[in-house]
Amino acid sequence: SSSAYSAAIGSLLRQYKGKFNTYVVPCYIGSGPCGDPGSLKYSIYNTVYLEVHCPTVKPQVVIISDSGKNSVDFGEVSIGQNVTRSVTMQNISDKTVELTSTLLDTDGPFLMLNALRVLSPGGTHTAVLSFAPDKGCVYQEVLSIKSGSSILAMTLVGKGVSPIVNLSIESGLFDMGAVLAGEYCERTFKINNTSSLSIDYVIKLDSLSLLRHAKSQYLPTFIKRDKKHKSYVGTQNFNGQNVFDLVPSEGSIPAGDNKEITVTFAPDHCSENYSDGVRIELFNQEESHFFELKGLGKNHIMYMFGGDDLTPDVESLAVLPVTEDDEGKKINRLYKNSIPMLVSLFSVAKETEVIPANRDVFVACVRTMAVSQKKNGEYQFENVQLIQSKGFSIEPQKGMIEAGTKKAVTITWTPPPGHESNQPMEASVLVTLKGDAVEQYKLMLRGIIVSE
C-alpha cells in the first residue's frame, strides 16, 4: 500500500510485453452412481485432457496520479458535506482506446462528475469523483474503467461522520432582558464543534423566513390547551429593521474549535412580546439546533415583572398605552397612572394546618446608554399595613436597584383566622418606582386555599 510499491507496480506494467501460457488439465472419468464424490473407481486409460490457454496482455490504461494507487480514499467526511477527488489515467498502449465505466450505485454517496473520453496513445484523462455521505457509516464501491481488452478497477472508500455541535445556551430560550426603546444591547453565545471535522453553519431567523406568514396562521397559544408554540415570531420593529441580529450568521468552525456569536437586541418601541426563532443549519441541510430569542422594550428604566399573565402575548390584543393628549391626561389622573399586576398565591390546606403561600415578584432597573439619565432606581410599597389584616406581608418593602440588576420581593399570604376556605382573599397595594421617571404599579393580590 506504500507509494514506492505502487510506483514499482506501475513501472513493471509499462515494461510488460505480454505472455501466453498453456495449461493441460487431466480429467479422469469414473463410472457408477455418484453417492460419495471422490470415491468412484476410475482408470487412467479413460482420461480426458483439457487444454487451457491463458493469454496475459499488457493493460492499455494505468493510473498515474497518487503514485499509481488504484484506490481513492476520501477519508472522514461530515454528513451533508461534498468532497471531490481526482484520478488521472494514461493510455500506455499504441492504439487509441475509448473509455467507458461501470455504473455506480445511484442511491450511494459516490458520483463521477465528468464524462470519459477517447484517449490517443500516450494521452491522459482526469476523472473527478465526489463523495457526499448521508449516513454515519463506512462506504466502499468498485469503479471499473473499461478500455477495450482490459479493465482498470478502482476502489472508492469513504466514511460518513455525524457532526457533533453544542451550544453554550443551557435551555431553549435566550433571554436578552430589557432595553430602553431606541437603544440596544449585545450578548454572546458559542457554537462548539466537538466533532473530528470542520463544519459549515448558517443561522436563520424565523422572522426572515419565506414561510413566516404561513406559519403565523396557526391558533395563538392563549387559545390552545397545550400552550405550545407554532410560530415563534413575536413583535417586530415599526421601522422595518430586525429587532434581533446575529453576527456572524454563517461561517466555518474547525474541528474541536468554537465560534462566538453576537446577538443584538434593538427595539424601537415599548413592548413585552419581542421574540424570534433561531435555527442553525449545518452544510445547508436540516436544522441542527433551535432556540427562541426574547426581549423586553421599555420606556423607563424601572419596571416590575413576575406576576400572572393579564393579556395574551399578541401585541394587537394587548393593552395599549394611553396617549398624552388632554383626554389621556384625565384618564391618567383618574387611575393615578398605575400599571396593573396580578399575583395569585395558593395556600395548601392539610388536615391539621394550613401552609402559608409565598411568591416572588421582581423589581428591575434597565442599564441605559444615555449619559444624562439617572442610572439607578428605587422602589417602595405604599400603605402595606392595610393588607396585613388580610394575611398578606411583603419583604423587603423598599430598596435601591442598581442599573442592570433585579431584586426579588417575597409576598407571603397566611390565611387569617376565621377565613372561609372556599372564598378567595383579595387586596391591592401600590408600588412606586423612581428612576428616570416616577411610575406606579397597582399590585392586585389574590389568596386562594387549595387542598393537598
Q: What is the pLDDT of residue 99?
A: 93
Nearest to 77 by CA among 154, 140, 141, 162: 162
Q: What is the pLDDT of residue 396?
A: 92
- pLDDT for residue 335 is more than 50: no
Which residue segments constitute the domains of the chain, with CATH numbers given? 19-56 (no CATH), 61-161 (2.60.40.10), 165-298 (2.60.40.10), 302-451 (2.60.40.10)
Q: Can you give the pTM of this predicted structure?
A: 0.69
Q: What is the pLDDT of residue 263?
A: 96
- pLDDT for residue 225 is more than 60: yes
The rounded mean pLDDT for the chain is 86
379 in Cβ contact with 396 (< 8 Å): no
- pLDDT for residue 18 is more than 90: no
- pLDDT for residue 313 is more than 70: no
CB burial class (10 A; 0-12, 13-18, 19+) of residue 47?
A: exposed
Each residue of 382-441: pLDDT tens digit? 989 989 999 999 999 999 999 989 999 999 999 998 888 889 999 999 999 998 889 999
Higher pLDDT among residues 246 and 284, named by residue: 246
CA distance 190 to 402: 28
- pLDDT for residue 330 is more than 70: no
CA distance 148 to 442: 93
Nearest to 59 by CA among 99, 16, 122: 16
CA distance 273 to 245: 17
- pLDDT for residue 229 is more than 50: yes
Q: How many of the other CB atoms lie within 10 Å of CB of 390?
A: 16
Q: Of all residues in the chain, what percent carry a pLDDT higher than 90?
A: 50
Q: What is the pLDDT of residue 331?
A: 42
Q: What is the pLDDT of residue 398?
A: 93
DSSP state of 284: T
Each residue of 68-77: pLDDT tens digit? 888 999 998 8
Lowest mean pLDDT across 18-27, 186-195, 325-334: 325-334
